[in-house]
Structures are given as structure tokens and as C-alpha cells.
Chains A and B, each alone.
Chain A
């Protein structure tokens, strides 16, 4: 809580023969975050190089490529699969080569046969295209060729033509273009050419082969149908193979990937002729287990040392969250901004509490809250484990907060619940039905400003803690300065104007020069605060207006909320007030239509408003965390803890 998981810097040194044992051991623990050894120009140590991969790395990687290519063929995504059973690694190791080859061969045979068939189909289709124009002319293809005294014309033509010389002509009109086959004595060729050209004649070469075009065409089309049927059969077999082998391929993928990661691990180590060194971070609570494991595996022949000293320098430790379970989904929101650094406060738990509260204040409506709650619980089944699920949990928390604040605001789809709002009312009146009192906008706005003041003060306190840890009291003073200026300014404002829901200090009698005690104290705090801020850097003072702008920004909690109420009230007014009620009073056949329309408007309108409320509420609430809260104290940019090892889904030892 508030701190990331404590890490210990470990060095493991052993002789090269032990390298594989050490790798397998570290991999099985899955707690060692390897710090890659990098050969830097100028920092190179004589005799130390990056290690070569273990012996069978290239073999394993080529197998993995084979498996991945089959996965692509079948469209298998191991990430999205949930295996029924796990395969034992030992069984798999014995049979994997044979089984991959068998599945691979079958796949290859099917695919190559399919490709071959597709090639034949393309050729046949080309032939059919060539034959098609001749289909209308009952002339054998052999008769188009082999004349010395006759000129033969075949092709498309714009219209039928009269030929003024002795000739033989077949003309078939067709919507795709009229076909003409024309035989004329060679001596009239020039005259006929001219006539044809005028009729927009486009020659088509006579296809090879013999026989009647109709018959050839029918034969080709018959073959095409047969081939397509065969392709469909092959596709069925591929689909069956996918069904059958999906789990096997995903299992192989996982097994080979884990094997490859281990085979290639030495690329991250520093090695000499005889020994190797691997450096990394282990969560402190796991250190003893890792040491014991390594000692057992190498019979005490590996040297494991804890590197003492500051865990922040020279290379900061990787960051793994350490939060109670209810705050874990919020880590997703933290990672979206930036993971905390190892040496700063981790505000996840605060965000996990404040984010839903802000969301609830914005979308404080029991009806919308229930819809979102149902959606977040219902959708869980359809999403795989991962970020999507976490997001749904964040949404669920928001929905619960929304229901809670809905009860306080006494709102249900924009209607009033049977009790008066326990907080300030947000109900708007519309269409002449004057609601009692109307929304208490001023009070609500001031309430949101109060939330802002407290949230920002919390941020500054966290900043004081963060800076205090690094720079001692010198780091704390400017942060206290910010807090003092803000509260000093508030005191001054309170003693000048009376604001609802805030202390009214205008009545305090003046003490010196017409100024009352609170005004004097406030002024003093303001001046001291400004001096304290300037003590760090005078440039910081350019940020001074953010005291006001950031606080004002919290007005969005109410403003966005009111706009959501307004949409709900409009939807209710249009659907019930304008469409349903009048027609219920004077019931008629046409009225039923209007009532149905009213119901449709009601459902569509409120669904739209739920979506808007979800997006608006979430983004605005998130923004208040990211911009107004985090900028006060949070840097982020920590490296994610990425232990050497794998979470296995398909295999087990």
C-alpha cells in the first residue's frame, strides 16, 4: 500500500557449465527481473562479452516458426483460448517433433492441393471467358481456321452490318456486346474492313481447341463446379483439422516459446571464457526461496549475492504494485498514465477510492447505476482475463458509487425517488411542471469546489512526503507553501464575501486597519506561502494561478452531472409528457402508435444518456486524477516488473 513491492538487487555468478541449470531454475521461479547486460562504448570490460544462446536455440526457433505459420493458416489465437486440460511438459517433449511434423504434413498437403486447384480454376475461368462470346455461333472452332482464300472475322460489333460482297455471316445480339463471325473472300477484305470499322468492330481471337463452343463451355463449367466442390471439401477438412489441433498447436506454441526464452537468455548475460554473470531484481520476500532453489540445483556451485546500497541508484528497481485486491483493477488506470517510480508514493489506492466517488457524483442516478452494474457483471463472461476484465471491475465500482449517490440525490432516470434528496437537489423542472425548489446549483458548485480544495490539498501533502524523502525539509517547504497560499487565499475570500456552504467570516469585527483577524491570518499565510514556493524556484510562481483554475475545474463534477440530469429530464418530458400521457388520456387506435413511439424514445434516450454518462463520467473523473491531482506530486515512469518466466496456460511440469 502506497509503496511498490520491495525489491532486492541480486547478482548470480557461476561457471558456464552451470548456465543452463541456472536458467531453468530462474525461469521456473518467475520472480527474477533480468537487467540485460549491455556492451557500451567506452565501458567495455576486457574479456567480458554478451553470452551466446544455448545449443538448440535455432532449432527451437525454427520449430516455433513452423507452429506459428500453422496457427496463422488456421486462424488460431492462443491468447484468446481457454484450455480444458493442461499437457505435461515431459509427455510433450517426447512427441512434439513427430506430432508437429504430422500435423504440418497434413496441413501442407491440403494447402498445396488447394493452391493447385485454385490455379486450375483460374485457368478454366480464363478459358470460359474466352469461349463465352462464341457460344451463340454454332460453328466448330476447327472451321474458323486454315483458309487461304477466305478472310475470317470474329469479334464484338456495335450493330449488325450489311455486307455487299459474297459472304457467310453469323450475328448473335447480346447485352454484353453483339458477336459477329464473318467469312469473306480475301479479295474483298479491304472493303469489309472499312465497313466493320464503321460499325465499331473489335476483333476477338479464336480460342484454341476444336468442337462446338456450346459443348466446350458446358464441359468447362462442369469441371469448374467439380473443382469448387473439391475446394469446399478441402476447406471442411482444414476446419476440422483446426478444431482438432487448435489446442495442440497452442500448447506447442507455449512450450516452444518458453523453451526459446530460456535458450536465448544468455544473450542478456555477461560472460567470460569460464563464467557468466546475471544481474537482476527479485521481490525481497522471494529472495530466500530463489537462493535456496539455485543452491539446490547447482549443488551450491552458484554464487548469489545481494547488492547492498541504495535501491534507487544507479539503476532504479523495476516496479511491481503491492495493493489490496479491491484496488488492483485501478492499476490499469495508473499504467495508462505511467507506472509509479520505485522511489515515489504509489497513489493507486487513493485513486481506487476517489475515482468511483467522482464518477458517482457525476452520474448520481440509481437507474443508470443499475444499468452499468448489470452491464459490467454481464459482460464479464464474454471477455478473456486481462485488461478488459479489469476495466469492467473499475466500471462496476463506479456503478456502485453511482447508485449510492443516486440514492443521496434521490434520482432514478431523472425522476425523483419517494424521498427528498439527502444532499443538495439536482432535479430540473421542465414543461411548466415547476419542481419544488429546482436544482440548488450554487450549493452544489461550492460543494464541488470543496471537494477540489480537499483533493488538491491531499495531492500537495503527498508531494511534501515525496519531496521530503529525497530532499529533506528543503523539499517539504515549497509544498507547504502551496497549501498555505491556497488556504490563506480562502481565508481572505471568506472574510470578504459570504459564500453558501463555506464559513462566513464577513461578520468578524475588524482588528487593524479595517482588516479582521481571519483576513490578516489569511494574508500572512498567502505571503509566507508565496515566499516558500519561491524558495525552490521563482519560476514556480508562474504556476500560481493554477490554485484557482485547478480548484474551479472541480466544478465539472456538478456541471457534467447536471447536464446528464438535463438530458434525462428532456427524454422523460418528450417520451412521457408529450407522447405517452396525452394518448393514454384520450385512448385511440392511433394513440397506441404514439405510445409505442414514446416507449422507444424513452429507451433509446436513456440508453444514449447512460453511454454519455459512462464516457463523460469516467473521462472527467479520470482527468481530475491525472491533471489536477497527479500534477501535484506524481511523476511516474517506473519500469514494469517483468520477471524471467512465463505464466503457463496450456502446459505443466
Chain B
């Protein structure tokens, strides 16, 4: 009788542990999504940005088009953010 109660408690404990670790895994997955896409955006903007500054130094009129080119990769991190939000909420 006592054994059965103890076993039952152990099973409940392990279910709780699994649920908790699942939440943790989700949070980790969201973090990876944000970190990876954030890094990707930054990497892409690094090279575009430096080229853009060079181009604007040559010709100020290019500012508008160069701004557009520089912010294009930002979508990547937005996708990451969306995936992250959907994972944890």
C-alpha cells in the first residue's frame, strides 16, 4: 500500500519534471531562433552597411536607396522574433 503511493508520487514528479523541461526546451528553442537570426541579420548588415557608407560618401543622393538596401536583411530577425514568440506564447 505504502509502496503504491510512493510509486504514484514518483510518477507524478517525473511528469512534472518532463513538463518543466519541455517549457525549458521551448524557451531554449526561442532563444536559438532569436540569437541565430539576430546574428544573421547583423552579419548581412555588416557588409551592406559598410559598402553603403562608402557609396554615400561618393554620392549623397544614394542615401535613400542605400538605406533601403541596408534594412532589407532586418526581416530575418523579425522572422526569428515571430518564431520565438509563437514558440513561447
- Residues of A within 8 Å of B68, CB to CB, are 337, 623, 626-627
Please judge, given known A-B contacts A623-B68, A623-B71, whether A441 and B86 are in contact too, CB under 8 Å: yes
Question: Interface digits, B38-70 against A, CB 8 Å rule (1 contact, 0 not)?
Answer: 000000000000000000000000011101100
Contact between B63 and A623 (Cβ–Cβ < 8 Å)? no
Contact between B85 and A623 (Cβ–Cβ < 8 Å)? no
Interface size of B as a range = 10 to 19
Q: Verify if A562 is at the interface (C-beta below 8 Å from B).
A: yes
Q: Which residue of B lies closest to A337 (CB)?
A: B64
Q: How far is the CB of B19 from chain A (nearest CB, A)?
A: 18
Q: Verify if B9 is at the interface (C-beta below 8 Å from A).
A: no
Q: Verify if B14 is at the interface (C-beta below 8 Å from A).
A: no
- Residues of B within 8 Å of A442, CB to CB, are 86, 89
Task: Pick from B82, B85, B89: contact of A552, CB below 8 A.
Answer: B82
Q: Verify if B75 is at the interface (C-beta below 8 Å from A).
A: yes
Please judge, given known A-B contacts A441-B86, A562-B85, whether A556 and B71 are in contact too, CB under 8 Å: no
Contact between B79 and A552 (Cβ–Cβ < 8 Å)? yes
Please judge, given known A-B contacts A336-B63, A336-B64, A338-B64, whether A439 and B82 are in contact too, CB under 8 Å: no
Please judge, given known A-B contacts A336-B64, A439-B89, whether A619 and B71 are in contact too, CB under 8 Å: yes
- Residues of A within 8 Å of B13, CB to CB, are none
Contact between B89 and A623 (Cβ–Cβ < 8 Å)? no
Measured between alpha carbons, how far is A171 from B81 in the docked complex, in Å?
78
Q: Which residue of A lies closest to B79 (CB)?
A: A552
Contact between A441 and B75 (Cβ–Cβ < 8 Å)? no
Task: Pick from B67, B75, B78: contact of A336, CB below 8 A.
Answer: B67
Contact between A549 and B85 (Cβ–Cβ < 8 Å)? no
Task: Pick from B63, B64, B74, B89: contact of A441, CB below 8 A.
Answer: B89
Q: Verify if B72 is at the interface (C-beta below 8 Å from A).
A: yes
Q: Verify if A563 is at the interface (C-beta below 8 Å from B).
A: yes
Q: Which residue of B lies closest to A335 (CB)?
A: B64
Q: How far is the CB of A542 from chain B (nearest CB, A)?
A: 16
- Residues of A within 8 Å of B72, CB to CB, are 623, 627
Q: Verify if A7 is at the interface (C-beta below 8 Å from B).
A: no
Q: Verify if A298 is at the interface (C-beta below 8 Å from B).
A: no
- Residues of B within 8 Å of A556, CB to CB, are 74-75, 78
Please judge, given known A-B contacts A556-B78, A627-B72, whether A338 and B85 are in contact too, CB under 8 Å: no
Contact between A553 and B78 (Cβ–Cβ < 8 Å)? yes
Q: How far is the CB of B64 from chain A (nearest CB, A)?
A: 4
Q: How far is the CB of A93 from chain B (nearest CB, A)?
A: 36
Among B65, B72, B75, max chain A CB count under 10 A is at: B75
- Residues of B within 8 Å of A338, CB to CB, are 64-65
Contact between A559 and B89 (Cβ–Cβ < 8 Å)? no
Contact between A553 and B75 (Cβ–Cβ < 8 Å)? yes
Which residues of A, 318-347, contact B by the 8 Å Cβ criterion? 335-338
Contact between B82 and A445 (Cβ–Cβ < 8 Å)? yes
- Residues of B within 8 Å of A562, CB to CB, are 81, 85
Question: Interface digits, A76-118 against B, CB 8 Å rule (1 contact, 0 not)?
Answer: 0000000000000000000000000000000000000000000
Measured between alpha carbons, how far is A555 from B78 in the docked complex, in Å?
7
Q: Which residue of A lies closest to B80 (CB)?
A: A559
Q: Which residue of A lies closest to B63 (CB)?
A: A336
Q: Verify if A438 is at the interface (C-beta below 8 Å from B).
A: yes
Contact between A438 and B89 (Cβ–Cβ < 8 Å)? yes
Measured between alpha carbons, how far is A462 from B38 in the docked complex, in Å?
34
Measured between alpha carbons, how far is A619 from B75 in the docked complex, in Å?
12
Task: Pick from A559, A560, A627: contact of B71, CB below 8 A.
Answer: A627
Please judge, given known A-B contacts A556-B75, A556-B78, A623-B71, whether A445 and B85 are in contact too, CB under 8 Å: yes
Among B72, B78, B79, B86, max chain A CB count under 10 A is at: B78
Q: How far is the CB of A620 from chain B (nearest CB, A)?
A: 8
Question: Interface digits, A608-645 against B, CB 8 Å rule (1 contact, 0 not)?
Answer: 00000000000110110011000000000000000000
Contact between A441 and B85 (Cβ–Cβ < 8 Å)? yes
Which residues of B, 13-49, contact A by the 8 Å Cβ criterion? none
Measured between alpha carbons, how far is A533 from B79 in the docked complex, in Å?
27
Measured between alpha carbons, how far is A115 from B75 in the docked complex, in Å?
59
Measured between alpha carbons, how far is A463 from B89 in the docked complex, in Å?
38
Contact between A559 and B74 (Cβ–Cβ < 8 Å)? no
User: Which 9 pairs across A and B sit closest by C-beta, in order of nearness?
Assistant: A336-B64, A559-B81, A337-B64, A556-B78, A626-B68, A441-B89, A623-B71, A555-B82, A553-B75
> CB within 8 Å of A: which residues of B?
63-65, 67-68, 71-72, 74-75, 78-79, 81-82, 85-86, 89
Write 6 A-B pairs (CB below 8 A) sorted by A numbering: A337-B65, A338-B64, A441-B86, A552-B82, A563-B81, A623-B71
> CB within 8 Å of B: which residues of A?
335-338, 438-439, 441-442, 445, 549, 552-553, 555-556, 559-560, 562-563, 619-620, 622-623, 626-627
Identify 8 new A-B residue pairs, CB closer than 8 A, beyond the known A335-B64, A445-B85, A623-B71: A336-B64, A337-B68, A338-B64, A441-B85, A549-B75, A552-B75, A555-B81, A626-B64
